[in-house]
Amino acid sequence: MEPVRTCVGCRARAARSSLLRIVARDGALVIDEKAVLPGRGAWVHDTDKCVSTALQRRAFGRALRVSTPLDTAELDARTTRESLQRNG
């Protein structure tokens, strides 16, 4: 039986393999592709909708238990790049 996690964007439960793990490293959100980085992780569907919803709701800070603002540049770049690939 595969582990189940909750997406911080849409709050839906899904298999761990279908979600992307995000961790806070040095004040920035970092994508943990292999889910092996140390520390608390937040799980989100790898879709623009879920990532943008989580960013708007400031869900990453709560899930990661970080009180300082987090740099979202890596996530923003990934969602922008994927949007361009789909639309262009």
Tens digit of each residue's pLDDT (9 = 90 or more) over 11-37:
999 999 999 999 999 999 999 999 999
3-state secondary structure of 19: strand
User: Which residue shows structure tokens 């039986």?
Assistant: 1
Give the type of residue at 16.
R
* Dist CA 45 CA 51 (whole Å): 7
DSSP 71: B
Residue 41 to residues 23, 75, 87, 88, Cα–Cα distance (Å): 5, 14, 30, 32
Q: Tell me, what's the pLDDT at 88?
A: 63
Token pair for 38: 């140390």
